[in-house]
Amino acid sequence: MTTDTSKPLTGYRSFDHLERQGHRNTRGAEEGTVFVFPKLDGTNASVWSDGEEVFTGSRKRQLTGGPNGDNAGFHAWVHSTDPKAEALRQMALLYPSMIFYGEWLVPHTIRTYQDDAWKRFYIFDVFERTEESRGYVPYPSYKAMLDNAGVDYIEPQAVLVNPTGAQLKAEADRNDFLMIHGQIGEGVVIKNYEWRAAAPEGWDRVWGKFVRSEFKSAAGAKCAPRPTENVEPAVADEFVTLTLVQKTLAKVLIDVGDSEEQAGMMERDELIATYRGRIIPQLIGRVWFDILNEEIPNIVKRFKRPTIDFKALQSEVARATKAMAPELF
């Protein structure tokens, strides 16, 4: 891979949303050569440059630094004297046509990563922005660049050909990347660089994710399906999981902290107490969106093509969400 010498492209670009494997937008992603990567539970971040200045981004916006313009300290770290940060900046300046996406590992749902894994940036994708080759760069093409730069990145734990669901589940169940001894991570991300999916307008690709069953279910056993005429409460009880609510709440808190003056300096409890009126509707709305966007095919399969009153289901999803986040209610 050579250094891009064309006019650099600037501007923030968010990372494309991951869909669960089995969602209509990931159909066919398992056909062919599939790279299986460990999935980290931190916060999405990005780094890029215009050849002269290095920029940073969070999951939804470009960062500017300061108490209201950072993302859990990521911007400040990138511009620090940490050797890993300096290596990252040098690489970004050397390749101004590329965006480096990764996980800034700060506590969210999973707290069992190794002590020395925290507050580090692990690159998981490289995006080329030039018109002639716009898109995600395959792992075999960018690995040497990251090795030469000396930055942290996530390596695939397996490369499979036409993997089955059982094989992907087995890979998810053995993801111990950066975990303390005996602990297993959230799941895996599925990438097929030859596959093109019919994705929503503006998306370049939809990677699949395979999440371990322990993170799909709430604390305790799943509820058995209720009668068809009262299916909405059962759907909410099964699919509004503790992990879904906790992860969504963590993202909402980051977004509120980023957007409100002085909020970036607040501890979690103070942030919730101060901005509860903004946090609650965002949490409920995002959980509802995730259920509609990701789980409908699974609901149809689990409950054997039920007749669903979506207004009633929305109310039940709100009820189940509140039950999973008692600190807000």
Contact 152/86 with Cβ under 8 angstroms? Answer: no
Within 10 Å of residue 153's Cβ, how many Cβ atoms?
Answer: 20
Q: 207 by DSSP, 3-state: which? A: coil
Q: How far is CA 35 from the centre of its chain?
A: 17
Domain ranges in the chain? Answer: 19-216, 228-328
Q: What is the pLDDT of residue 197?
A: 53
Contact 279/328 with Cβ under 8 angstroms? Answer: yes
Q: 141 by DSSP, 3-state: which? A: helix
Q: What is the pLDDT of residue 298?
A: 85
Q: What is the pLDDT of residue 287?
A: 94
Give the chain's radius of gyration (CA, Å). Answer: 20
Digit-by-digit pLDDT tens for the chain (329 residues) are: 434 434 445 688 988 878 888 776 787 888 899 999 999 999 999 999 999 999 999 988 899 887 778 888 999 999 999 999 999 999 999 999 999 999 999 987 888 999 999 999 999 999 999 888 888 999 999 999 999 999 999 999 999 999 998 899 999 999 999 999 989 998 999 999 988 654 444 445 668 898 876 665 433 333 444 444 578 888 888 888 888 888 899 888 888 877 766 666 677 778 788 888 889 999 999 999 999 988 888 888 888 888 888 999 999 999 989 888 888 87
Q: Do β-strands 208-211 and 19-20 pair in parallel, antiparallel, or remain unpaired?
A: parallel
Which residues, at least 6 apart from 220, have a Cβ–Cβ distance to it below 8 Å?
A: none
Helices (H), 54-164: 74-78, 83-94, 139-149
Contact 75/64 with Cβ under 8 angstroms? Answer: yes
Residues 231 and 310: their CA atoms lie apart, in Å, by: 11
Which residues, at least 6 apart from 25, have a Cβ–Cβ distance to it below 8 Å?
A: 19, 197, 198, 199, 200, 206
CATH 3.30.70.1250 is held by the domain 19-216: no
Within 10 Å of residue 14's Cβ, how many Cβ atoms?
Answer: 15
